Amino acid sequence: MNETEILSVKQRFGIIGNSPLLNHAINVAIQVARTDMTVLITGESGSGKESFSKIIHHLSARKHGPFIAVNCGAIPEGTIDSELFGHEKGSFTGAHDSRKGYFEVTNKGTIFLDEVAELPMNTQARLLRVLEQGEFIRVGSSKVLKTDVRVVAATNVALEEAVDKGKFRKDLYYRLNTVPIFVPPLRQRGHDIELLFRKFAADFSDKYKTKPVQLTEDAKKLLLSFEFPGNIRQLKNIVEQISVLEINRTITAETLKKYLPATNTTRFPVLYNGQQEEGLSEREILYKVLFDLKKDVIDLKKLVHDIMAHDEQPHLDKPALEDYGHLLAGNQQEPAHGTEQEPVILDINKPPATATFPLDRVEDISHEYEDDDSLSIEKKEKELIIKALRKNNNKRKYAAQDLGISERTLYRKIKQYEIDN
């Protein structure tokens, strides 16, 4: 990877950031630009895919030819063929004159097809012919026209899944995907978020003739922890709002929270006590679930041991014990044994008088929890701590941030589990 060349490209095209994923994507774009190969750029909406199409065009032998960006999702299905390939006079209602399409206009240049997955199946077949033979036919014509166009396509959806569902042609997918480039989402770019914030703050300072806003340390941590589902576009909008609306140019975490969506976007929903806890990260919710599960198991063990230790046999039938197990698991459905009955209230300090299940089975249950569930939670916690320490080169401060706990708590856990740094 030529770092000098990558830095030069960043400066020329206004790309901010130093993350390895970003640098790799730029390097691939530089290498493929010198060829005439078709490129497929993938990445989430707002991650900056169009910038890579411009890099490929302006570093190629076609840089003096035309470049046009087409948003395939913004053109109605009825007119997409006319827009891309042109039409003849009278070919449809409203076609008062002949018209050249984008593939004819950009001859000897580059066409960027954004959101290519939105193309109708008929248009996909026409595009495949252009890619394979360099030929196309205007709407309403039978004359075959030639074009020499370099195609760069982009999408924010998984084209493999679209192929499996029959929504995208397999042959076109493989033809477009000659060279793939993945543009990472903002949340995977680490401290690039801070660099972009400062860049946008400086830009809006010049635009609105104000002092640029700055983040405190706690605000930086909050910014880095946010998912940014809208990626760079969302970050830019947030910085502009803050630059215009805030009188105090030093932005704290409390101030920043007002401009971030109330519920952070996560990759999958995590429920806790039937609903997502407000203000907690995904990792914190997971920890709460694990530790509460451990507490429930310990409470159940205590109940069983109290029953075994009592001189008299308590009045607790097997179905009632099963119902208690359902309650511990958060299962609010009807009891497994069928009929409706009053809720069973268990008082471990005053067990009832008689029992109708064998106590040797209770002993087996106790050993099951002793050997498996209780230990497995501690083992998982230890594994997570070791993994976080290795990832951050044994730097406890950053490992604690990754785990979502304080550095003091991490230090106590390291001593508790006798983890060797």
DSSP 157-215: S-HHHHHHTTSS-HHHHHHHTTEEEEPPPGGGSTTHHHHHHHHHHHHHHHHHTSPPPEE
Which of 234, 235, 247, 261 lies closest to 208 in space, CA to CA?
A: 247
What's the pLDDT score for residue 265? 45
Same domain, 289 and 194: no
Same domain, 145 and 292: no
Environment class of 10 (CB within 10 Å of its CB; exposed 0-12, middle 13-18, buried 19+): middle
Same domain, 240 and 291: no
Q: DSSP letters along 313-357, please?
A: PP---HHHHHHHHHHHTT--S--TT-S--PPP---TTS--S---S
Residue 197's pLDDT band (boundaries 50, 70, 90)?
Answer: very high
Residue 272 lies in a domain: no
Residue 284's pLDDT band (boundaries 50, 70, 90)?
Answer: low
Same domain, 342 and 227: no
pLDDT at 369 > cutoff 50: no
What's the pLDDT score for residue 178? 92
Residue 376's pLDDT band (boundaries 50, 70, 90)?
Answer: low
Running DSSP on this structure, what letter comes out for residue 116? G
The residue type of 83 is E
CATH of the domain at 16: 3.40.50.300
Same domain, 30 and 133: yes
Same domain, 41 and 167: yes
Running DSSP on this structure, what letter comes out for residue 373? I
Enumerate residues 6+ apart whose C-beta is below 8 A from 74: 115
Same domain, 240 and 326: no
pLDDT at 416 > cutoff 70: yes
3-state SS class at 384: helix
Which of 396, 392, 398 lies closest to 410 in space, CA to CA?
A: 396
CATH of the domain at 237: 1.10.8.60
Distance of alpha carbon 179 from alpha carbon 191, whole angstroms: 28
With pLDDT > 70 as the criterion, what percentage of the chain qualifies?
76
Distance of alpha carbon 287 from alpha carbon 275, whole angstroms: 15
Contact 218, 253 (CB under 8 A): yes
Residue 375 lies in a domain: yes
The dihedral of CA 160, 59, 109, 149: what is its sign?
negative
Distance of alpha carbon 349 from alpha carbon 310, whole angstroms: 10
Same domain, 232 and 296: no
Contact 10, 16 (CB under 8 A): yes
Same domain, 165 and 205: no
Question: What would the two tokens of residue 61 be?
Answer: 């032998």
Residue 271 lies in a domain: no
pLDDT at 415 > cutoff 90: no
What's the pLDDT score for residue 95? 76
Q: DSSP letters along 226-282, please?
A: ---TTHHHHHHHHHHHHHHH-SSSEE-HHHHHTTS-SS---SS---BTTBPPTT--H
Domain limits at 252? 189-257
Same domain, 178 and 196: no
Q: What is the mean pLDDT of the chain?
A: 80
More confident residue, 2 or 319: 2
Q: What is the value of pTM for the model shown?
A: 0.61
What's the pLDDT score for residue 339? 45
* pLDDT, tens digit, 9 for 90 and up, residues 262-280: 755 444 443 434 444 444 4
Domain count across the chain: 3
Enumerate residues 6+ apart whose C-beta is below 8 A from 416: none
CB atoms within 10 A of CB 146: 11
Residue 267 lies in a domain: no
What's the pLDDT score for residue 263? 54
Same domain, 225 and 322: no
The residue type of 200 is F
